[in-house]
Structure 1
Amino acid sequence: MRVHGEVSDDEEAAAAAGEPVPLTPPPASAGQQRLVVGYALTKKKVKSFLQPKLLALARKKGIHFASIDETRPLSEQGPFDIILHKLTSKEWQQVLEDYREEHPEVTVLDPPNAIQHLHNRQSMLQEVADLNLSNGYGEVCTPRQLVIMKDPSSIPDAVAKAGLTLPLVAKPLVVDGTSKSHELSLAYVESSLPLLDPPLVLQEFVNHGGILFKVYIVGETIRVVRRFSLPDVNTYDLGNNDGIFRFPRVSCATNNAEDADVDPSIAELPPKPLLEKLGKELRRRLGLRLFNIDMIREHGRKDRYYVIDINYFPGYGKMPGYEHIFTDFLLSLVQSKYKMLLSGS
């Protein structure tokens, strides 16, 4: 006999394989509202997000995760209280937009048109650049950047015209969830610029002691973890290649710097009040509730921070205690909705 809240072997195997999780709806205890969360995620995201520890806690709290079948009309599935999604096709986005209009009672996390803003690195940081977050806790900036759509041979002239200073970090323009969209290159001599592969964004590199802060946002909750990042450029032997260093994704969980022996002035987390204000402003401006911010602190400048990337529905499974944070967040959405209904709003 299964104890309520346990995850079966079939459920655990499905989650590990990234397959739809065959959860049977948990019995609602007296006075407990059963919450149905439909999800449309890639196999990779299912595997990393719907971990057994999340599924077990969700069942205890009356939350049922239901896989959405993309081959069937969405209106024929459910009923859902909440829809979680991270699929990038235009067809899916249109399906979801139509569903939102037909079913305003369902909370969609998050609106596809708002997510689209983060799929392009040209527009991604604009909301941060427009903020004025200079206060007693620090200053939040964005690196100067330039978009190159095509013709690598034009890059040196475009960089000179824009007044950008080498070295430059080159990032793919489009963020589509693939590992390639997170691959970085560091170009540090002018002759290396025509070797880059547009479409891309060039950002001025800011020395930051090799530490990056991943700021996870789940509704109003904020959690920060340290990751190793690109080392300061003066640590490289710059004479041994074509002037370009290529890197895979640099801020993944395997680069965890939480317990590393790092200079405290570099490892110190950004001030909580600054992060709370930044998170609140970006939630409002972006219209999103599930994202993370990649931040660095300029080396030698204790109070100057740069936002270098924003990612939608990031790898929450790497965030300590994510299962408690996420299930509480899902329940709070429904509680807020019921309060609005009772108040007649």
Structure 2
Amino acid sequence: MAMEGRPVRLVLDSSVLLEPSASADGGGGSGEVALAPGAEALLRRLRYSNLGVAICYPEGFLERIASLYSFGYSPLPATSGNCSPNDLMLEWSRTSSCFYVTSSIDQSLFSELRNQDWRVLSVDPRELIFFSGPGNDCGELIKDPEVFKVSRLQELLLTLATLIKREIGSSSVLVVGYLMKQSREEDYAKAKVDMVLHKVTDEIVKIDPNSSFEFPKGISFSAGMSEIIRPSLNRFVEEHPDFCIIDPFRNIYPLLDRHQIQQILVQLQECGTEGKPRLRAPHSLKVNNFHDGKLEKQLAEAKLSFPLIVKPQVACGVADAHNMALVFKFEEFSNLTVPLPAVLQEYIDHGSKIFKFYVIGDKVFYAVKTSMPNASFLKSSSGGEPLTFNSLKTLPVATKEQLLETRVQDSKLDTTLVEEAAKSLKELLGLTIFGFDVVVQEGTGDHVIVDLNYLPSFKEVPDTEAVPAFWDAIRLTYQSKIGKSHT
């Protein structure tokens, strides 16, 4: 968050960040001092914002916290129990848009801050009241309409963003929210990007692949998602039809199922022209068990031959979605532990090189990464057993020696062909941001899409390219949504 042409300063009073007992005694005692619920998450998010943040506290615990999160440290002088802005804060008021956040009530401080054009926010679940007389515990309770009330610390950033937008007074500024697990949130925050969309798959705890795959049937979400977030969001969308979700849950749903992913990829078979490489989906077969007497015949009908890579049908959101195996002969199905139902997919020798494509709105980026070695290397090290691995943690990657042996057969990537496929996928999926993996088959030169996923991390794309594309994609999707709602 940032104001256009004018910086934003945010000062957090200690009463907002500390447990009430710690705030009451100043936090300087010998007892352990703890952050209030939600304070750690707030500090983590502010660390990567464009706001100038300072913590007001005389000494001790919060000074260490400020240093940990790379914030400025601004001690706030106190006289007879009353705080007053220091010289630094007064200087900020002349050059910046300033916000002061507190959970304690002090009318004289509020008045002085407002006289210096500060905005005051109070985080308190109760109705905002304060004592009219400084230091008078029995003073008259009165309300202050000029103090912005925030009932929970978790609502502070959204309230602050709304106030900043109001001060800018521009329709070009969008206030957006996000929902995802902490690790993915930090991936985006470190790139100076406040997250603007959800990754609902991070909140999935169980998927029943035998149910009808029509959102949200067959999916069990985390308690917070099931009981609070998703119902509230659904109600909000129903009440505000112009509201834009990037991307709708139903559009992401097919990417939870590897069998559905295969069906989507098959629709790209027309990509490519005569005399040039062909883009295709890998040959595959869905199976409900590994002991079906018809399995051998089904493999032949699906144009599948060994080795085969065996993947759970459930593609993401559950613990064993990435537990896979490479099977070199039919007998190895007998003791296979890959979760069922599963998708059997041809293993493609690709010179240990995989091309990771990222689609951000109308922009397409890619990176080259070392991948699994050719099947002959894997078979020699398997010991006559299926090779089991987790594709996120224990993926067998080619060694330097194996890379040298396959370099002479290195196939070139046809970027134009894959970019055409990316545009087709964008239309088929109805998504703003997604990724897919391509390998180039040795010998044939076929370009084969072996994986498709929603909201990848974009770690391989430079921030100077990914961040502008990211914001452009968000804005264009929003404008498209608003434009359709007004026609």
CA contact (8 A) 1:42 1:86 kept: no
Task: Report the Cα distance in structure 2 between the residues aligned to 1:328 and 1:239, rounded to whole angstroms.
Answer: 47
Task: Tell me the CA shift for residue 299 of structure 1.
Answer: 1.0
* Partner AA of 2:192 in structure 1: L
CA contact (8 A) 2:272 2:417 kept: no
Which of 151, 159, 167 aligns to 2:307? It is 167
* Partner AA of 1:191 in structure 2: E
Going from structure 1 to structure 2, the CA distance change for 1:40 and 1:270 (only over 3 Å counts) comes to: same
Task: Tell me the CA shift for residue 126 of structure 1.
Answer: 1.1
Task: Tell me the CA shift for residue 4 of structure 1.
Answer: 3.4
> Corresponding residue for 2:273?
135
Task: Report the Cα distance in structure 2 between the residues aligned to 1:274 and 1:6, rounded to whole angstroms.
Answer: 48
Task: Report the Cα distance in structure 2 between the residues aligned to 1:295 and 1:278, rounded to whole angstroms.
Answer: 11
* Partner AA of 2:309 in structure 1: V
CA contact (8 A) 1:7 1:52 kept: no
> Corresponding residue for 1:61?
none
Task: Tell me the CA shift for residue 41 of structure 1.
Answer: 0.9
> Corresponding residue for 2:7?
4
Alignment of 1:263-302 (within 5 A): 263=407, 266=410, 268-271=412-415, 273-302=416-445
Aligned to 1:299, what secondary structure does the other structure show? coil
CA contact (8 A) 1:184 1:247 kept: yes
> Corresponding residue for 1:68?
none
Alignment of 1:88-99 (within 5 A): 89=204, 90=216, 92=225, 95=231, 96=233, 99=236
Deviates more, 1:89-98 or 1:279-288: 89-98
Task: Tell me the CA shift for residue 119 of structure 1.
Answer: 0.6
> Corresponding residue for 1:217?
359
* Partner AA of 2:267 in structure 1: D
Going from structure 1 to structure 2, the CA distance change for 1:43 and 1:21 (only over 3 Å counts) comes to: farther
> Corresponding residue for 1:189?
329
Going from structure 1 to structure 2, the CA distance change for 1:315 and 1:5 (only over 3 Å counts) comes to: farther
Task: Tell me the CA shift for residue 208 of structure 1.
Answer: 0.7
Task: Report the Cα distance in structure 2 between the residues aligned to 1:6 and 1:219, rounded to whole angstroms.
Answer: 32
**Is 2:179 the counterpart of 1:36?**
no
Going from structure 1 to structure 2, the CA distance change for 1:159 and 1:289 (only over 3 Å counts) comes to: farther
Q: TM-score, normalised by structure 2?
A: 0.55
Task: Tell me the CA shift for residue 116 of structure 1.
Answer: 1.0
Query: Structure 1: any 5+ residue segments left out of the alignment?
Result: 59-64, 66-81
**Is 2:227 the counterpart of 1:54?**
no
Task: Report the Cα distance in structure 1 between the residues aligned to 2:376 and 2:287, rounded to whole angstroms.
Answer: 26
**Is 2:375 the counterpart of 1:233?**
yes
Structure 1 or 2, whichever has the larger Rg, is: 2
Task: Report the Cα distance in structure 2 between the residues aligned to 1:240 and 1:125, rounded to whole angstroms.
Answer: 28
CA contact (8 A) 1:183 1:248 kept: yes
Q: TM-score, normalised by structure 1?
A: 0.75
Deviates more, 1:97-106 or 1:290-299: 97-106
Going from structure 1 to structure 2, the CA distance change for 1:199 and 1:336 (only over 3 Å counts) comes to: closer
**Is 2:288 the counterpart of 1:153?**
no
Aligned residues: 309
Task: Report the Cα distance in structure 2 between the residues aligned to 1:106 and 1:148, rounded to whole angstroms.
Answer: 41
Task: Report the Cα distance in structure 1 between the residues aligned to 2:155 and 2:236, rounded to whole angstroms.
Answer: 23
Aligned to 1:225, what secondary structure does the other structure show? strand
* Partner AA of 2:389 in structure 1: F
Task: Report the Cα distance in structure 2 between the residues aligned to 1:157 and 1:264, rounded to whole angstroms.
Answer: 40
* Partner AA of 2:391 in structure 1: R
Aligned to 1:54, what secondary structure does the other structure show? coil
CA contact (8 A) 1:145 1:204 kept: yes
Which of 123, 140, 163 aligns to 2:260? It is 123
Task: Tell me the CA shift for residue 178 of structure 1.
Answer: 4.3
Query: Structure 2: any 5+ residue segments left out of the alignment?
Result: 12-41, 49-67, 70-153, 205-215
> Corresponding residue for 2:85?
none
CA contact (8 A) 2:439 2:447 kept: yes
Alignment of 1:3-22 (within 5 A): 4=7, 10-12=43-45
Root mean square deviation of aligned Cα:
3.9
Deviates more, 1:320-329 or 1:22-31: 22-31
CA contact (8 A) 2:285 2:343 kept: yes
Going from structure 1 to structure 2, the CA distance change for 1:313 and 1:170 (only over 3 Å counts) comes to: same
Task: Report the Cα distance in structure 1 between the residues aligned to 2:468 and 2:164, rounded to whole angstroms.
Answer: 20
> Corresponding residue for 1:86?
200
Task: Tell me the CA shift for residue 331 of structure 1.
Answer: 2.6
> Corresponding residue for 1:104?
241
* Partner AA of 2:477 in structure 1: L
> Corresponding residue for 1:326?
470
Larger RCO of the pair (alpha carbons < 8 Å, separation 6+): 1
Going from structure 1 to structure 2, the CA distance change for 1:252 and 1:220 (only over 3 Å counts) comes to: farther
Going from structure 1 to structure 2, the CA distance change for 1:325 and 1:162 (only over 3 Å counts) comes to: same
CA contact (8 A) 2:277 2:447 kept: yes
* Partner AA of 1:324 in structure 2: P
